[in-house]
Amino acid sequence: MTADAAARRATLADVARRAEVSTSTASVVFSGKTKVSDATRERVLAAAAALGYAGPDPRAASLRMGRSGIVAVVLEGQLRAAFLDPVTIPMMDGLTDALASLGAGLLLLRDEVDGAHAPALTTAPVDAVVLIGCSGRTRESLEVVRSRGLPVVVIEGDAGEGVPQITLDNREAAAEIARHVHGLGHKRVVAVTLPLNSTAARGPISDDQWNDATVEVSIDRFDGIRDVYPDVPAFAAAGSSIDEGVIAGRALLADPASRPTAVLAQSDLLAAGVIRAAEELGLRVPEDVSVAGFDGIRVDGIGEHVLTTMVQPAFEKGRAAGEQIARMLRDEPSSSLHFTCRFRAGTTTGVPARVS
């Protein structure tokens, strides 16, 4: 079979859609362990025959008999891009550290539910799943995982009742750094946010766009800034990267008439990009514009600056998620855990040079 043919092979999710039933219903038709109506069974089998679907992958069947020894971690977008974010690396280190006692391997999946070029979340042979909530597709992915009956932990996302969550004080932390900037005397402030949803649209954020926002981290951090600056304008980046920060910085700082005296970025990478854009325009940081970030990572390429930021416990978050997965796989009670950030004053914020 060619690679193209394998890529077009029908999945159980395809069969379920054609038969107009849930994936879990289609699954039990093939497993035979739960009775379904004759009409539903015939509809599912007819859909499978039409699509050339011969039945579940044997690896998936093995899961019903035992364990695969694999835990899936669902990351947003391209995997290579995810690992360019320095927050992801210590979080994954913490996760693998906690799962070491189980001898479990990690399977990294993109958050497209039916991605054609990666194992689909609907059929991947795994024992449990960790969802990273900095994605506009977290809720959709969660529905798939729950329909499969797999143990799941969500890191920084709204998982609803009954699902362990690893949460961070994003709103409170963002408010703390906004209070720091407010205390320095800044009145003309703008926020640079992480993507609001899976479209990752870049540009100034309207009220309608906020109403469509689905990424909890972006929402919570912006709400924290608004607790201090209720009318703060915002610019959405298409991702957490220095390049995106440069784009945002150029757009926000180019016009002296509307230029803010402080920029609050939702990640350190975005903040570093804003600093680069400011210096391109001949502006001094923090004398002409103050810049603050969020994460507490090491950022190269900003000269002698020490970024003012909120330091988050990325390793501890990952380890906590792994510990809860391990507990569930041992049939032990699991729980949600909450972490807090720590303010770190740097050299990138100061008293505004002019009254705004």
Q: Is residue 129 part of a domain?
A: no
Q: Is residue 73 part of a domain?
A: no
What's the DSSP call for residue 100?
Answer: G
Q: Model confidence over 201-252: pLDDT tens digits? A: 899 998 888 888 888 899 999 999 999 999 999 999 999 999 999 999 999 9
Q: Model confidence over 162-198: pLDDT tens digits? A: 889 999 999 999 999 999 999 999 999 999 999 988 7
Is 6 a residue whose pLDDT tops 80? no
Band of pLDDT at residue 25, cut at 50, 70 and 90 = confident
Taking a C-beta distance cutoff of 8 angstroms, is the pair 271, 235 a contact?
no
Is 54 a residue whose pLDDT tops 80? no
37 burial type by CB count under 10 A (0-12 exposed, 13-18 middle, 19+ buried): exposed
Residue 168 has phi, psi (to 5 degrees) of -130, 145
* 49 and 174 assigned to the same domain: no
Highest mean pLDDT range out of 3-17, 125-139, 181-195?
A: 181-195
The count of domains in the chain is 2
**Which residue spans within the chain are E strands per DSSP?**
70-75, 105-110, 128-132, 152-155, 165-168, 189-193, 203-204, 234-236, 262-265, 290-292, 309-311, 337-339, 342-344
Query: What CATH code is carried by the domain that includes residue 292?
Result: 3.40.50.2300
Ranges 25-29, 106-110, 192-196: which has the least confidence:
25-29
Name which of 9, 12, 5 is nearest 48 in CA terms: 12
Domain that holds residue 294: 170-312
The CA-to-CA distance between both ends of the chain, in Å, stands at 67
Q: Tokens for 307?
A: 């970024």
- Looking at the whole model, is its pTM more than 0.75? yes
pLDDT: is 138 or 38 the higher one?
A: 38
* 178 and 308 assigned to the same domain: yes
pLDDT: is 192 or 139 the higher one?
A: 192
Band of pLDDT at residue 29, cut at 50, 70 and 90 = confident
Band of pLDDT at residue 65, cut at 50, 70 and 90 = very low
Q: Is residue 335 part of a domain?
A: no
Q: What is the pLDDT of residue 37?
A: 84
316 burial type by CB count under 10 A (0-12 exposed, 13-18 middle, 19+ buried): middle
Measured between alpha carbons, how far is 295 from 241 in angstroms, rounded to an integer? 13
Q: Is residue 112 part of a domain?
A: no
Q: Is residue 121 part of a domain?
A: no
Query: What CATH code is carried by the domain that includes residue 27?
Result: 1.10.260.40
Q: Which residues contact 346 (CB under 8 A, 6 or more apart)?
A: 305, 306, 307, 308, 309
Q: Is residue 215 part of a domain?
A: yes
Percent of the chain surpassing pLDDT 70 = 85
Residue 267 has phi, psi (to 5 degrees) of -150, 160
Name which of 165, 184, 169, 277 is nearest 223 in CA terms: 169
Which residue, of 31, 56, 81, is where some domain finishes?
Answer: 56
Measured between alpha carbons, how far is 41 from 4 in angstroms, rounded to an integer? 30
Is 24 a residue whose pLDDT tops 80? no
Q: Is residue 62 part of a domain?
A: no
Q: What is the pLDDT of residue 59?
A: 46
Q: Is residue 288 part of a domain?
A: yes
Q: Which residues contact 65 (CB under 8 A, 6 or more apart)?
A: none
Measured between alpha carbons, how far is 113 from 283 in angstroms, rounded to an integer? 44
